[in-house]
């Protein structure tokens, strides 16, 4: 007599949408996601895909936020440099003017 092997029914909680599912995938971080897909069809539900997409968006948002901040800091630095350079130019201009003024005078 052949015994029919019962397939263990495992249900896990999706780490993305929080629903219980027996069709799931596990990612590298050991997170479980629903994945309802029939072979040859696009997935009906693909929480890992959504999770990855969301994570990517968050990272990109943070990245753009960071670069925006760096850009602002760079601009402030440039402004300061420009201000210092302009001040130097002004000083040079004034000292040259002074020199010219003194040189013109007969000694
Ligand atoms: Zn899910």
For residue 24, report the phi and psi dihedrals to the nearest 5 degrees. Answer: -150, 165
**Backbone dihedral angles phi then psi of residue 32, each to the nearest 5 degrees:** -105, 140
Q: How far, in Å, from the CA of 15 to the mean position of ligand 1?
A: 7
- CA 52–ligand 1 middle distance (angstroms): 12
Q: Residue 47 pLDDT more than 70?
A: yes
From CA 88, how far away is CA 94, in angstroms rounded?
A: 10
**Mean pLDDT (the chain, rounded):** 88
CA-based angle 67:72:60, to the nearest 5? 20
Read off the pLDDT band of 101 (50, 70, 90).
confident
Rounded Cα distance, 24 and 27, in Å: 10
Query: Rounded to two decimals, what is the model's pTM?
Result: 0.54
pLDDT at 99: 83
Distance CA 45, CA 62 (A): 27
Cα of 19 vs centre of ligand 1, distance in Å, is: 6
């Amino acid at each position: 007599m052949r015994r029919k092997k019962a397939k263990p029914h495992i249900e896990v909680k999706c780490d993305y949408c929080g629903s219980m599912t027996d069709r799931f995938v596990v990612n590298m971080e050991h997170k479980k996601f629903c994945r309802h897909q029939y072979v040859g069809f696009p997935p009906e539900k693909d929480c890992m895909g959504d999770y990855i997409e969301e994570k990517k968006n968050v990272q990109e948002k943070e990245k753009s936020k960071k670069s925006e901040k760096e850009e602002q800091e760079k601009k402030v630095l440039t402004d300061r440099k420009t201000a210092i350079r302009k001040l130097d130019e002004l000083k040079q201009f004034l000292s040259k003017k002074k020199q010219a003024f003194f040189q013109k005078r007969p000694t």
